Structure 1
Amino acid sequence: MSVAESFNVSDYQRVKHLAELDLDYQELQAEFEDLTRLATSIAGTETSFVNLIGAHYQWTVSGDDKVKSVLREETVCTYAIQESEFLKIPRLDQDPRFSDKDFVKGENGLKFYLGIPLRMNNEAAVGALCVISKNETELSSIQIDQLRIIAGEIVKRLELKLLLKRSEKKVEKAVKIKERLAHDIRGPIGGIVQLLEIAQEVIDSKDEVLEILTMARSSGKDLLILAEDILNETIEDHKQKEKNFTLGSFKEKLLSLYKPQAQSKGVQFSVNFTGEQADMFSKKGLLPISGNLISNAIKFTPPEGSVSVCLKIEKKNDKKELIIIVSDTGLGMSKEQLDQLTIGEFALNEVVSKKGTEGEKGFGLGLRLVMDLVNEMNGTLEASSTLGTGTTITARLPL
C-alpha cells in the first residue's frame, strides 16, 4: 500500500459522495437492467452500461452479465464524468487517449462512445451512463435527450438511496434519544420504589396511608417494568434492523467483489475469518472501508504477490469490535509515509503521486477516504510496513 498519491479535492468529494451511498454493487444489476436495455434500444447500439467510478476502479453495475471492475484510468467514463453535459467520441480508435487500448483493437474493437455523467444533486458525478458500438454511429439530438432522461432516472434512484441512508441516520439518532429517555426514567423510578418500600416498612398507622403507599409502590414497579420494556424493545429492534452481515457472508462478499481485480493482475487474494459464524453485525460503511483498503493493496502489490484479509470480532469490556486486517506483499511504505497515516495527518496539498506496480495511476483518494470513514465510525486505523516487503493495515470498528 502507499500513502503517497496525487490528490484532487473535487474528485475526493465525488468519491466520498459515492461512499456515502454505501452501495453493494452486485445488488444494482437487476435494479438498473430495465434502464440499460432501454438506453440500448434508443441508441441502436450493441449495448449500454451504468458505470460507477470509485477511488481506484470503475464498476460496471448494469448492462453486463455480472458486476465487473477495471482500473479507472483504463476507462472512457473517467473522462465523461468531467463533462457538464455528455462526452461523445465518434471514433475511439482514432482518439489519442484510447487508440492504444485493447478494447479498440481488432475487428471487434469499439468505435463509438457516448457517455452521460450521473451527477447527483447537480454536483458530484459518481459515474456515467454510456452507450457503445463496434460500428460508427450517429445519434440525433432527440436520441441524446432521451438518453439524458434515462441518466436522470438513474440519478433519481441513486438519490433516493442516499435519502434513505440519511433518513436511517436520523432514525438512529431518534432511537438513541429514546434509549436515553428510557435510561433516565428507569433511575428515578427505581429510587421512588425503594423509598416507598422503606416507608411501608416503618409506617404502622392508618390503613389508608398503607393502601396509598402500596398503590404507589405497585405503580412505580409497573412504570419501571415499562421503562425496561421500552429500552429492551428499542435495542433489539434496532439491532435486528442492522443485522446484515455475518463474518462468513462478509468474507464471501469481499471475495466476489475483489478476487477478479486480483486475478486480473496475477495477485493471490484470500479472505479468512476467526470467531463465531453466527455473530451478526451491520454492514453499514464496511464495503467502502474494506474495498478501498483491498484495492489499494492490490494496486501496490506486484504480480505473483499476495493480498490477504482477516476478519474477526473481539469483545472488550462488554463491547464488540469488528477488526479488518488487510496485508500485502507489495511496495511498502517509508517511515515518513507510515507516520503520516498512523497519526492521521494527511495534508491535502502535500500528497504526491505514486504509481502502482504495473504503472496504475494514483488518484490519492483511497487511504484518505478510509481514514475519514473510520473516524466517522469512531474507529481506529493502525499500520505497519517495511519498504519492499509489504504493508498491514488494521481497521477497528465498534459494533
Structure 2
Amino acid sequence: MRFLPPPLPIDEQARIAELCGFDVLDTEPERAFDNLTRLAAIITGAPIALFSLVDTDRQWFKSRFGLSATQTGRDISFCGHAILKDEIFIVPDAHLDDRFAENPLVTGDPHIRFYAGVPLRSAGGHRIGTLCVIDTEPRAGLTPAEQEGLHALAATAMDELELRRTLRTLSLRQEEISRYFSVMGASTDFMCLATADGEVIGVNPAGRQMTGYGPEEDLTGLTLGSFLAPEVADLLWTRAIPTALRNGSWRGESVLFSKAGDQIPVDQVLLCHRDQNGEVTSLSTICRDISERDEIIRLREVQLMKDAFVSTVSHELRTPLTSIVMSLALLTDGLMGNFDDESMKVLRIAQANSERLTHLVDDILDLERSEHGRRTLSFTQASISELVDPAVQTLEGHAAAAGVTMRVEIDTHPALMITCDPGRIVRVVVNLLTNAIKFSGIGGLVVTRVERSPENMVTFSVIDNGIGIREESIPQLFDPFWQADSSSSKLVQGSGLGLAICKQIIDGHRGFFEVTSDFGKGSAFRFSIPIH
C-alpha cells in the first residue's frame, strides 16, 4: 500500500478540545466562509478549495468549492498531514509521493494530484484544520503571490471563528450577569459581582445602602477589597480568593467597611465562577450583617472581662509563680539539704505543676499580646532545615520515652529559603509535634512533611496515626481554651491555648491552617505560609 495515514499531532487531545470549543462542527453552510473558499480557488486557479476542520476520525468541510462531499476519513486526508506544522503544506504531484500515491482520494474521486493547505492556528496555539486548494493536475507549486493570498484568507477564516466564539462567550456571560443581577436586586444582603481579577462589575441596591454608596454612584476602579476593613482586606487576596479558586468557594466571618468608615461584621461567602472550559470568568460575594446590637454589647463585656483577667494574671500571678518555681528548684536540686524519696517525690510533683502553671500564664499573655497586636514578628531568611530540625531534635527524647516513632519527609530542597520569623515557626512545629506525640501512644508514628505549594507557598504537615478528632470538633480546634476531648484530659493535659497561639502566628505570616482527621485512625495538621 503506497499511502501513509497522517500521524497524530503531539497536542491532539488539547487540539480536539479547542476545535469542539468553537462549536462549529456539523453546522449549516455560511456565506462568509463560502466566499473565502471561492476566493481561494480564484486566487490560485484551482478547481477545488476547502475550509477543512480535522476532527477525531474525520475531516469535515465547513465550506467547499468544486466538491460535493461534506467530509472524508481522517486516515486518508491530506489535511491531517498539513496540521502537523505551521508552514504551508504542498504536494506537487501525489502520484510521485509515497505518502499519497495509492490514497483513495488520489486513485478515485476527486483524483487529487496537487494539494496546498495552510493550517488554521487558533489563538490557543492549536492547528484545528486548513484552508486548502486542490487540482486534478500536477503543479510545480504556488507562486509567492498565491501563497500570500492563501495565508491571508486562512487568517481571515480563523479570525472569523475566534470572533464568533468570543461573541458567543459574551452572550453567555451577559445572560449569567443578568440572572445574577435579578437575584441581587431582590436580596437584602450585600452582594457584589466582580471580574476574575476582583474588579467590581456591580453591587446590589442593599449592598450600596449598607456601605454608603448612592444608587447611581460610579464604582469604577473599586475592587472586592474596597468594601472590606483594611485589616481584613489583605486576607481576601491571600486566603479567601485563593481558597475559592481552589475549591470553588470560601466562607468566613469578615468586616465590611463603609464610605463613612463604619465597620460592619458580616458572614461572607465568596464564589468562583468558571466557564465550560474551566476558565475563571468572575467572582461574586454575599455578605450578611451579623452585628446585632445586643450581641455586640455582650461581646464587648466579655472582652472587658477577659482583659481584666489577663491584667490580673500579669500582675498578680507572674511574680509569685516565679518565686515558687525558683524555690522548688533549689529544693529538688539539693541546695537546701537532702530529702527522703517520698518527700522528693512530692516536691517534684509540685515543681512539675508549678512549671505547668507558669507555661499556662505565659500562653495566656502571649495570646493576649497577639490579639491586641502587641506581639511583633521578626522576619528574616531561614531554610526548611533550620525550621524543621530544631523542632524534631527538641522532641526526639520525649517521643522515644512515649514509644512514638518520628519521621521527616521533605519534598522540596532542604535549603529552600523562606522569609519568616524562624523562632515562631519552630514554635508552631514543636506545638503540633507535641500534640501528635501526646495523642499517638505507644507504637505510634508521627510524620513531619514539608512540600512546596503551587501558589508560591510552602506547606508544613504533621501527621499522626493516633486517636483522631471527631469531624464536628475540627472547626473549634483553634478556639482559645477549647480541647477536642475533655475526657482525655487526665491522660494528656494542656491549656487549650497552643493551637490558638499557633493560628495567630501563622495568620501573622499571611498563611492558613488546614486540619483533616479520621476519628480513631489519626489526624493531619497543615499550615501554609508564603515563601517570600
Q: TM-score under structure 1 normalisation?
A: 0.42
Q: TM-score under structure 2 normalisation?
A: 0.32
Say which structure, 1 or 2, has more relative contact order (CA 8 Å, 6+ apart): 1
Larger Rg belongs to: 2
